[in-house]
């Protein structure tokens, strides 16, 4: 469950609602805001700190890490995870990398097509 | 003062057809504990014992530092208790109940009570007999919350509620936890509620505690492994696996003590691990009760 909270926090950073270096709510406050248990938020903060996404200073609370381009890095990570997942499924299905690349190009074309329809 | 809001050790109670057996549990102050179990598992008996309403045959019970049942009068000033069998006076209004409680408990917070009335969509001048089940539950909760007790003990607070009322109640319970000195113990067979708001989980089945620990650690230990067993490979039992369901070459193994080494052990035995999935508390609940009953019966 803490994983979902981590995702939500990362998303806030990605879209820029939580800027680099900005103080974030205390564990207890965020638990109240999100209507989840304190322990879930505590675990999410702990994991985010290990990933270098947030920093916690004793007595001062937590803040988004002041590392330039953090939002972009998180987006990059998200893309990487999806690519790894696709590659794993392809290997289970016995699809060679070259073929997977072709399929990715096709998927790109389909997305472009759908986006055009929306406009 | 103690660090535990509730502490039970070696608590037993024997009835003719039901025995609560050697119950140990600890709720640290400032946390929410969800007590989960099937109907008749012993949740309500445990709650009645810690409220001093039923006296244990053996074992020690401490609530907010007070020994129960001996010191229950002192303890109850700071405990807010709500359960289904607590009745409000049918012919009286909610407002009458509010002044009644206010006259007994000096810590009654009138501003907070007004806020809760609004948030719960209740009308103070309405008589109890005209209220729906959901409104009664909310009214009872308002009456205990506005007293600002250090410990809230709630027996099945969300049972029989519609999704909106359930959400309103869960929101008030988590909001109450903004105060670090507060603790909540509630029972439920709605695993979704427990998963969402609890810090501690206690599983009870047939009068015994199966597990009691912090929720994230607990959820983390359970995993479902989707396996592909090639022809000619034998699927051997591994430590940490509590159940296996097999259909042809596919198998699903459930673990209650997952470590990445478990997946490696399958791979080195020639079994392919296709996916490792997290489980919801609902799925864990069922798997745990089944596994535990098999063990008891074996």
What are the pLDDT digits (tens) for A80-108?
999 998 998 898 888 998 999 999 999 99
Q: Is the peptide bond before B113 cis (omega within 30 degrees of 0)?
A: no
Instruction: Check if B99 contacts A (Cβ < 8 Å).
Output: no
CA of A103: how far to CAs of A12, B272, B288, in Å? 32, 25, 42
Q: CB B254: neighbour CB atoms within 10 A? A: 23
Interatomic CA distance for residues B213 and B201, integer angstroms: 6
- pLDDT for B3: 86
What are the pLDDT digits (tens) for A46-78?
999 999 999 998 888 999 999 888 889 999 999
| Residue B101: burial class (beta carbons within 10 Å; 0-12, 13-18, 19+) | middle
Instruction: Check if B180 contacts A (Cβ < 8 Å).
Output: yes
Q: How many CB pairs under 8 A join A and B?
A: 49
Mean pLDDT of all residues belonging to chain B: 92
Chain A interface, best mutation among B119, B163, B199, by max A CB count within 10 A:
B199
| Residue A88 or A27, more confident | A27
The tokens for B163 are 């999704």
* In contact, A54 and A62? CB cutoff 8 Å: yes
Q: CB A10: neighbour CB atoms within 10 A? A: 22
Percent of chain B past pLDDT 70, that is, above it, reads 99
CA distance A37 to chain B (A): 4
- Beta bridge mates, B298: none
Domains and CATH numbers, chain B: 4-215 (3.40.50.300), 223-278 (3.30.70)
Chain A interface, best mutation among B216, B219, B275, B284, by max A CB count within 10 A:
B216
Closest chain A residue to B200, measured at CA: A39
- pLDDT for B219: 93
- Beta bridge mates, B99: none
Instruction: Check if B29 contacts A (Cβ < 8 Å).
Output: no
Instruction: Check if B263 contacts A (Cβ < 8 Å).
Output: no
* In contact, B101 and B147? CB cutoff 8 Å: yes
What are the pLDDT digits (tens) for B201-231?
999 999 999 999 999 999 999 999 999 999 8
Interatomic CA distance for residues B243 and B253, integer angstroms: 6
- pLDDT for B143: 96
CA of B53: how far to CAs of A79, A84, B168, B194, B206, in Å? 57, 57, 29, 24, 21
- pLDDT for B148: 94
Backbone angles phi, psi at B149, to 5 degrees: -75, 155
What distance lies between CA B58 and its chain's CA centroid? 23
Mean local confidence (pLDDT), B67-73 = 92
Cα dihedral B168/B170/B173/B177 (nearest 10): -120
B177 and A35 within 8 Å at the Cβ level: the answer is no
What distance lies between CA B138 and its chain's CA centroid? 18
Query: Taking CA B184 as the corner, what is the angle to CA B140 and CA B191, rounded to the nearest 5 degrees?
Result: 90
Residue B1 reports pLDDT greater than 80: no
- pLDDT for A92: 80
- The alpha carbon dihedral of B197, B202, B205, B206 has a sign of negative
CA distance A69 to chain B (A): 31
Residue B246 reports pLDDT greater than 60: yes
Percent of chain A past pLDDT 70, that is, above it, reads 99
- DSSP secondary structure string for all residues of chain A: -HHHHHHHHHHHHHTTSS-TT-B---HHHHHHHHT--HHHHHHHHHHHHHTTSEEEETTTEEEE---TTHHHHHHHHHHHHHHHHHHHHHHHTT--HHHHHHHHHHHHHHHHHHHHHH-
Of A2, A37, A43, the CB nearest to B198: A37
Chain A interface, best mutation among B5, B170, B175, B178, by max A CB count within 10 A:
B178
The tokens for B294 are 């098999």
- pLDDT for B116: 95
Strand order in the sheet with B183-188: B79-82, B151-155, B183-188, B32-36, B200-205, B208-214
- Residues 6 or more apart whose CB falls under 8 angstroms from that of B223 comprise B254, B255, B258, B276, B277, B278, B279
Interatomic CA distance for residues B116 and B113, integer angstroms: 5
Task: List chain A residues with CB under 8 Å of B180.
Answer: 28
CA distance B174 to chain A (A): 5
Question: Which is nearest to B267 in space by CA: B239, B227, B222, B231?
Answer: B227
Residue B93 reports pLDDT greater than 70: yes
Of A35, A40, A92, the CB nearest to B170: A35
Q: CB B172: neighbour CB atoms within 10 A? A: 20
- pLDDT for A59: 83
Interatomic CA distance for residues B251 and B275, integer angstroms: 11
A40 and B278 within 8 Å at the Cβ level: the answer is no
Residue B258 reports pLDDT greater than 60: yes
């Amino acid at each position: 469950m803490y994983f979902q909270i981590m995702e939500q926090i990362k998303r806030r950073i990605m879209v820029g609602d939580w800027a680099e270096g900005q103080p974030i709510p205390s564990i207890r406050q965020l638990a109240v805001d999100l209507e989840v248990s304190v322990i879930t938020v505590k675990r999410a903060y702990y994991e985010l700190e290990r990933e270098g996404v947030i920093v916690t200073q004793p007595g001062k609370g937590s803040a988004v890490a002041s590392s330039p381009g953090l939002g972009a890095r998180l987006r990059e990570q998200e893309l990487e995870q999806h690519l790894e997942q696709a590659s794993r499924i392809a290997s289970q299905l016995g699809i060679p990398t070259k073929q997977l690349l072709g399929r990715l190009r096709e998927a790109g074309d389909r997305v472009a097509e759908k986006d055009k329809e929306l406009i | 003062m103690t660090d535990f809001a509730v502490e039970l050790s070696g608590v037993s109670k024997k009835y003719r057809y039901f025995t609560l057996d050697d119950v140990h549990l600890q709720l640290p102050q400032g946390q929410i504990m969800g007590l989960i179990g099937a109907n008749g598992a012993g949740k309500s008996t445990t709650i009645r014992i810690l409220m001093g309403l039923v006296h244990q045959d053996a074992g020690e019970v401490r609530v907010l530092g007070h020994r129960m049942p001996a010191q229950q009068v002192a303890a109850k000033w700071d405990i807010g208790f709500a359960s289904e069998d607590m009745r409000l006076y049918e012919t009286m209004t909610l407002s009458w109940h509010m002044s009644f409680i206010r006259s007994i408990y000096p810590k009654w917070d009138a501003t907070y009570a007004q806020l809760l009335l609004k948030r719960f969509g209740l009308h103070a001048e309405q008589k109890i007999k005209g209220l729906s089940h959901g409104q009664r539950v909310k009214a009872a909760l308002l009456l205990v919350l506005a007293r600002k007790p250090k410990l809230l003990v709630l027996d099945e607070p969300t049972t029989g509620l519609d999704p909106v009322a359930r959400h309103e109640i869960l929101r008030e319970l988590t909001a109450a936890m903004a105060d670090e000195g507060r603790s909540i113990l509630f029972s439920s067979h709605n695993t979704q509620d427990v998963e969402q708001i609890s810090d501690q989980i206690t599983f009870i089945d047939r009068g015994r505690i199966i597990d009691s620990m912090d929720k994230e650690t607990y959820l983390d230990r359970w995993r479902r492994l989707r396996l592909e067993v090639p022809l000619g490979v034998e699927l051997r039992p591994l430590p940490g696996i509590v159940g296996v369901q097999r259909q042809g070459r596919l198998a699903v193994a459930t673990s209650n003590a997952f470590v990445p080494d478990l997946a490696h052990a399958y791979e080195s035995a020639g079994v392919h691990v296709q996916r490792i999935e997290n489980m919801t508390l609902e799925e864990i609940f069922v798997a745990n009760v089944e596994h535990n009953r098999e063990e008891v019966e074996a």
